[in-house]
Structure 1
Amino acid sequence: MPATTLNIRIDPELKEQVDQVARSLGLSSSAAFNIFARQFVAYRGFPFPVVAPVPTEADFSRQMDAVFDRMRAGHSQEHNPIEEPR
């Protein structure tokens, strides 16, 4: 079967991880992407759920601490509510 070339931009660290996992499965990264492409077509979309990761409690706490630190450092603005509370 004739082949065509697909050029994509990918983070260098991610590419290295893809290469390592593909090699561990006895595949080239090109073969791995071909498998993905065939599954993408067969499923008419992603062959796995694509969802936003839910932060762990520790991640959420770190995020809130960072927001609070920025607020205490004066990087916040006061806003008026759109409607008065009832």
Structure 2
Amino acid sequence: MAQINVNIRMDSDVKKEAEQLFDSLGMNMTTAFNIFIRQSLRIGGIPFKIMSDDRGFYNKYNQRKLSAAAKRMNEGKYVIHEIEEDAND
């Protein structure tokens, strides 16, 4: 399998938090995203429930964070994280 690079835009604070979380789990961002993608393919969908109420993804906190991140991206202030897929995966 050929190795490719994937670019993802995300809020720099979210990236930092995610890197800390994944590091505490013994993995890096690339491994975490590969796990997410492989599990999505395995089950044929998103591997967790996406909720539209205040308890779910679209809660007020997330909406504020998403709006701020979208503003920064529109201003050209974003982080692109490159993901490298291992050719042997």
* TM-score > 0.5, shorter chain as reference: yes
User: What is the rounded CA distance, in whole Å, between the counterparts of 1:35 and 1:4 in structure 2?
Assistant: 16
Deviation at 1:43, TM superposition (A): 1.4
Query: What is the percentage of aligned positions where both structures have the same residue?
Result: 36
Q: Number of paired residues?
A: 56
| Largest Rg, 1 or 2 | 1
Task: Give the letter aligned to residue 25 of structure 2.
Answer: L
Q: d(CA) in 2 for partners of 1:4 and 1:25? A: 24
Deviations 1:15-74 (A, max 9, x none): 00110011001101110000000011111111110112426xxx8xxxxxxxxxxxxxxx
How far apart are the structure 2 equivalents of 1:16 and 1:43?
28
**Relative contact order higher in (CA < 8 Å, ≥ 6 apart):** 2
| 2:23 equivalent to 1:19 | no
Unaligned segments of structure 2, at least 5 residues: 61-89
Distance in 2 between the 1:30 and 1:53 partners? 30
Greater strand proportion: 2
Deviation beyond 6 Å, 4+ runs, structure 1: none
Separation of aligned partners in 1, 2:48 and 2:36:
10
Which amino acid in the other structure matches residue 9 of structure 1? R
Letter paired with 2:3: A
What is the TM-score when the length of structure 2 is the normalising length? Answer: 0.57
Cα distance between partner residues in 1 of 2:53 and 2:21: 22
The TM-score, its normalising length taken from structure 1, stands at: 0.59
Cα RMSD (Å): 1.7
Q: In 1, Cα distance between the equivalents of 2:53 and 2:9?
A: 23
5+ long unaligned stretches in structure 1: 60-86
CA distance in 2, matches of 1:16, 1:53: 26
